[in-house]
Amino acid sequence: MKRVLILGGGFGGLATTHRLKQKLAPDDEVILVDRRGYFMVGFRKTWALVGESPLEAGQRSLDGLTSLGIRVMREPVTVIDPKARAAYIGDQRIQADALVVALGAELAPELIPGFQQHAFNVYDPQEIPRAARALSEFRGGRLSIGIFGAPYKCPPAPYEMALLINDSLMSRGIKASMEVFTPQPMSLPILGQTGCDLIESRLADKGITFLPNHKATAVEVGEVVFADKRRPFDLLLGVPPHRPPAVVRESGLVDGSGWVSVNPRTLETQFPGVYAIGDVVQISLANGKPLPKAGVFAEAMGETVADRIAAVFSGQEPNATFKGEGGCYLEVGGGKAMMVQGSFLAEPEPEVTLTEATAGYLEEKRSFETQRLMEWFG
Ligand SMILES: Cc1cc2nc3c(=O)[nH]c(=O)nc-3n(C[C@H](O)[C@H](O)[C@H](O)COP(=O)(O)OP(=O)(O)OC[C@H]3O[C@@H](n4cnc5c(N)ncnc54)[C@H](O)[C@@H]3O)c2cc1C
């Protein structure tokens, strides 16, 4: 009997778990660990923020997986020992034949003085109800959406948030002066100037000011502090800096990039039998830019890793590889969405484009969630 220990029950961990259950022998053990009891897709936070649909409608309990023969441990991972392919779950040490680290990115608002006091963290599901209330009570003035660090999850999401909030305020007859700031030189650097122009002109058309090269250092009452200026706000919705969870930072898996480094095709770390997938890894593309942190990639990485582990367990040469193909939706309001999609690992340059906005892409976005919930939780 073999054992696989999967740390993290988000996009990557769930995709790995399900694929392994299909591929491994019935008496092989698959253990999934997550301190959070449920799964939910990332973009549901934006829908809940603008009052379109509640968070709970898209949440599924991980406990449901036990009926599929998966051992689910709803506890914190406290130590990872990659040399031994082991981890402490609470105070219990579990060793495995293969270890998959899928613990995602941790939000670190405390790295920006004043963020926690004066901004709403719109990437934290626990803060969404409070942020949604503040937005529904907003009666006009300066509304700022701030990206406080890069890389961050789902790069189009803050722009999508701005467009959807703008629609929602308009429908309530509320006049606001909206802006989005980012430390990056353009809205979505992976798209290059032409694609960014499309996004930025869409923001401009709606009267939303776009502020690139704006690295915020602190938040004070009613003001965001930048190196050389301050900008006032009445309501600040913030995307905090991201980093790997503490247990990963202390594991010896993180390199100079600040993230876990892996072979981009096999997702193997430097430790035999130890894989890392999803937001916790940083993969550099041919143009030096990082692979965007997105559920669709975490999922594809998880399936690749599961196929490789299954091959190794059955004595075969593993040949599954991560292709880096797919994309993220960018809802633009008015019942339409665009897609940032392509072949991200292509050489000599990533081939990434922004599609036109259609009702079809919004429909696809909705079924992206429904399909995963059905497939993973029934
Ligand atoms: C607003 C928003 C919109 C988004 N839209 C899209 C989209 O349209 N398309 C798309 O592809 N992606 C989207 N994403 C990004 C997507 O949600 C993430 O990229 C994806 O969840 C990453 O998967 P993961 O498995 O690496 O990490 P996660 O899904 O974050 O899972 C990590 C898991 O590890 C657990 N964990 C962490 N530390 C510990 C610990 N010490 N002990 C136990 N458990 C722990 C966490 O509880 C979590 O469940 C969006 C994200 C946001 C915030």
Name every protein residue with a CB atom under 6 angstroms from any ligand 1 atom: 8-13, 33-36, 42-43, 45-46, 76-77, 102-104, 123, 153-154, 157, 245, 247, 278-280, 293-296, 298, 328-329
> Considering only CA atoms, which of 250, 237, 241, 247 is closest in space to residue 49?
237
> Considering only CA atoms, which of 268, 318, 258, 301 is closest in space to residue 82?
268
Rounded CA-CA distance 151/148 in Å is: 10
Report the helix count and the strand count for the chain, using DSSP H and E: 9, 23
DSSP H or E stretch at residue 327: strand 325-333
Q: In which residue ranges of the chain is pLDDT below 50?
A: none
- pLDDT computed for residue 17 by the predictor: 98
Rounded to the nearest whole angstrom, what is the distance from the C-alpha of residue 333 to the centroid of ligand 1? Answer: 24
Burial of 1 (0-12, 13-18, 19+ CB in 10 A): exposed
Q: pLDDT per residue over 202-234, tens digit each?
A: 999 999 999 999 999 999 999 999 999 999 999
Rounded CA-CA distance 255/219 in Å is: 30
Rounded to the nearest whole angstrom, what is the distance from the C-alpha of residue 248 to the centroid of ligand 1? Answer: 15
Atom of ligand 1 nearest to the CA of 302: 25
Burial 32-66, CB ≥16 within 10 A → b, else e: bbbeeebbbbbbbbbbbbbeeeebeebbbebeebe
- pLDDT computed for residue 73 by the predictor: 98
- Closest residue by Cα to atom 30, ligand 1, is 104
C-beta separation of 299 from 285 below 8 A: no
Rounded to the nearest whole angstrom, what is the distance from the C-alpha of residue 295 to the centroid of ligand 1? Answer: 7
- pLDDT computed for residue 364 by the predictor: 97
Atom of ligand 1 nearest to the CA of 36: 47
- Given ligand 1 and candidates 154, 322, 373, which is best to mutate, with the most ligand atoms within 8 Å of its CB? 154
Rounded to the nearest whole angstrom, what is the distance from the C-alpha of residue 294 to the centroid of ligand 1? Answer: 8
- pLDDT computed for residue 358 by the predictor: 98
What's the maximum distance between 2 C-alpha atoms anywhere in the chain?
Answer: 65
- pLDDT computed for residue 95 by the predictor: 98
Atom of ligand 1 nearest to the CA of 123: 53
Rounded CA-CA distance 322/303 in Å is: 9
Atom of ligand 1 nearest to the CA of 78: 41
Give, in order, the Cα–Cα distances in Å from 290 to each of 242, 343, 351.
Answer: 14, 13, 14
Rounded CA-CA distance 276/9 in Å is: 13
- pTM comes to 0.97
